[in-house]
Amino acid sequence: MGIIDQFKRFLSRDKNIPLLLAGVTVLVYFLCLPNQMFWDDDDFILKNIYIQDWQYWQKFFTSNVISGAHFISNYWRPLLQTVFAAEWHLWANWVYGWHAVSIACHAAAAILLFKLLNALLKDRTLSILAALLWVVHPVHTEAVVYPNSLGDSLATIFILGGTYAYTLFRASGQHAAKCRFWWIALLMYLMALLSKETGILLVAFIAITDYFFLTPDEKFFSKARRILIAIWPLILIAVIYLVLRGTVLNFNNSFNFYNEASPFAAQPIMRLWTFFRVMALYSGFIFFPYELRVERIIDPPTSFFVPDVMWGGLLCASLIGLSVYYWKKRPAIAFGAVWFFIAILPTSNLLVLINALIYEHFLYGALIGILIIALTFTLDAVKSEKGRRTTIIWIAGMIILLGIRSAWRCTDWRTAMGFYEQLIPYVPKSYRVANNLGMIYAENNLTDKAIGTYKKAMAIDPSNAVAYHNIANIYRDQGNKELARINYEKAIALQPDFFFSYKSLAQIYLDRNELTKARMLLERYFGLTDEKIYPLNLLTEIAYREGAYGEARRYLLVLLQLQPGNPEAIAALKKLEAVQLNKTRTSAAGNTPMITGVNP
């Protein structure tokens, strides 16, 4: 028996397909295991105090995903935070563990993709090839190789798992209330919504799956009505989710990330032209993935009559035309086209305005639709057994080449410094990349490079507070407190709620004996951050040094409310009461020891 025949026999067994997909995933992505954690990993994981202490678990459900890093975002992903917290308590910042989980989830999504397509399309070969192409495609490295992007694969697992469970429910012929697969589909929807915002798409994917493959053929509106009746609980869950995200879970405008007016935000037609431009780039990512990178600067076009915009528009029109033409003739092709548009819609900026125009990981779920279309056309085109075998061999070769490209790209993320230095020539006007590179230089004590890079970031965006704060930290550590003061004050003037600068600037004022300024900053810092004990200690000391004993007592009482039984605060309160009674201590600034016993 030849190798090809042995391999075909291996693939003929259902239990072997998950093993194949898992093995291929590990083979492609194992090179990312030692990669450093950076980019969004900082705010989502490394500096997020909520995931590092289980006492904050309730905040996963009541606050935005990066509030534990003292930032505000539009994202609410409690299940993702729960997974991150579990990982942190298992291995802290051990990178091998974080990357292993990402690889495992990517493999799990591929396995579910195979199961779903095999159940719907009834073509085992197409389903295996689609899952293999999907799992190795280089456009997914962005979603797999850095841990924070776990939300993509986690939500996709529940989307594919929920759609597959619903398919099994419909195939069972049972009443919904009595069928475990229906309840699994409902559970999958809840898990998808708790993983990432794109999880809301599950109800749409179930609807089109039902329409194209599960409901008997009849008139459009009759068919649609039958499906709506079948999935109304899912629709209700989606409506409740949207209401919650628009009200109690609306942290920073859930449906519009732009806080300032702009032509892009105000003109839907400009957003449509921009989407066409992005579509032109996506076609390159998918079919010619030779130049992949995270950050890209896209200028919104003001006219349709620009080559790349027209090309993107033609691609969209072609996909729509394919879906219409093959709606009944070849439902798999129409299904693939509709799947793609549904999957890409949340990141298209056509309905919800988000803070990015293009990222490779936006294609994580959408690529499934394109693969269904491409493979259906390809396998339908060959009629003979020999031609089909030759075609499959060519596709297998493509899978190998794409896998090598993905494995190679894993090394792009090896170190933070290498990543940013490689990226910045492509996006010299990216404030985020310049500032992050400056931070890496500072962490590696390359202070001259850090200062120069921060200044470049300031030139790119003079209104952003972060680089001013970061460069002030360097000046402070160098002992140049005057330059540090100037830049901290600049950061606060640009962004009054940027509380990171308050703490450091207050310390500089304290060192200069400018107690009133320090006290004012610390009181504002207390109101802006979850860190309460540190500012209360300093405020108590400042009030004591100023002779404001009543204020000092008030600060101590607040501290004891937050930490009942704090021995240092109790001792300080007793000492303060003794001072007030005896009037024997001087209140001259600089001559009184710290009364709280806490080193700030």
Give pLDDT tens digits for 460-501.
999 999 999 999 999 999 999 999 999 999 999 999 988 889
C-beta atoms surrounding 526 within 10 Å:
19
Cα(280)–Cα(336) distance, rounded to whole angstroms?
18
Q: How confident is the model at residue 217 (pLDDT cuts 50, 70, 90)?
A: confident
- Mean pLDDT for the stretch of residues 370-376: 97
Closest CA to 168 of 131, 211, 214: 214
Comparison of pLDDT for 503 and 126, the residue scoring more: 126
pLDDT for 414 equals 95
Q: From the centroid of its chain, how far is CA 372?
A: 26
**Please, what is the average pLDDT of the chain?**
91
Average pLDDT over residues 208-227: 88
The predicted structure's pLDDT at residue 600: 27
Residue owning tokens 């279309």: 373
Q: 214 versus 81: which is more confidently predicted? A: 81
Cα distances from 316 to residues 325, 351, 361, in angstroms, run 14, 17, 19
The pair of three-digit structure tokens given for residue 151, joined into one six-digit string? 């939300």
For the residues 362-373, what does the mean pLDDT come to?
98
Q: Which of 62-66, 231-235, 336-340, 382-386 has the lowest mean pLDDT?
A: 382-386
Provide, rounded to the nearest whole percent, the portion of the chain with pLDDT above 90: 72
Mean pLDDT of 397-406: 97
Q: What is the pLDDT of residue 432?
A: 92
Beta bridge partner(s), residue 440: none
Which range has the worst mean pLDDT, 17-26, 220-229, 312-321? 220-229
The b-or-e profile of 144-171 (16+ CB within 10 A means b, else e) is: bbbbbbbbbbbbbbbbbbbbbbbbbbbe
Reply yes or no on whether the pLDDT at 61 is more than 50. yes
Buried b (16+ CB within 10 A) or exposed e, 20-32: bbbebbeebbebb
Query: 198 Cβ partners below 8 Å, 6+ apart?
Result: 152, 155, 159, 343, 346, 347, 365
CA terminus-to-terminus distance, the chain:
75
Lowest mean pLDDT among 4-18, 56-70, 173-187, 523-537: 4-18
419 contacts 293 by C-beta, under 8 angstroms: no
Distance CA 488, CA 502 (A): 8
pLDDT for 590: 47
Q: Where residue 454 falls among pLDDT bands split at 50, 70, 90?
A: very high
What pLDDT was estimated at residue 593? 42
| Beta-carbon contacts of residue 495 (< 8 Å; ≥ 6 apart) | 464, 465
Half-sphere exposure of 531 (CA within 13 A, CB side): 17
Q: Across residues 446-455, what is the average pLDDT?
A: 96
Q: Tell me: the pLDDT tens digits for 303-314?
A: 999 999 999 999
Check: CB of residue 600 under 8 Å from CB of residue 537: yes
Mean pLDDT of 430-435: 94
Q: What average pLDDT does range 321-327 have in this prediction?
A: 95
3-state class (DSSP) for residue 353: strand
Q: Looking at residue 2, what is its pLDDT?
A: 64
Is residue 195 predicted with pLDDT exceeding 80? Answer: yes
Q: Which residue has the higher pLDDT, 515 or 586?
A: 515
Q: pLDDT (tens digit, 9 = 90+) per residue, 250-308?
A: 998 888 888 777 888 889 999 999 999 999 999 999 999 988 998 898 999 999 999 99
Is 90 exceeded by the pLDDT of residue 551? no
What 3-state class would DSSP assign to 256? strand
